Amino acid sequence: MKTEPQRPREREDAIETLNAAIKDMDLAEKASCIAQAKIAFGSASILLTLIRVCFPLFRQDLLRVHT
């Protein structure tokens, strides 16, 4: 089982990864010439943003259930 000090670092790593993916999706959306690709990249960016916003809440619920 992981110790308490490792959990915040893992959470920070996950949020950093989500932030990088959101930036990549935004760049891909801006660079794309095809309308369908812009829609797909924009939707993916919105979905990743939603995951990033809800991630801390989701993690707290998991920690409550498993501790």
| Spatial CB neighbours of 16, under 8 Å, sequence gap ≥ 6 | none
What is the mean pLDDT of the segment spanning 33-45?
95
Q: What pLDDT sits at residue 64?
A: 58
- Confirm if 32 and 38 have CB atoms less than 8 A apart: yes
pLDDT at 63 over 70: no
Q: What pLDDT sits at residue 47?
A: 94
Q: What pLDDT sits at residue 10?
A: 79
What is the mean pLDDT of the segment spanning 8-30?
89
Is the overall model pTM greater than 0.85, yes or no? no
- Confirm if 32 and 41 have CB atoms less than 8 A apart: yes
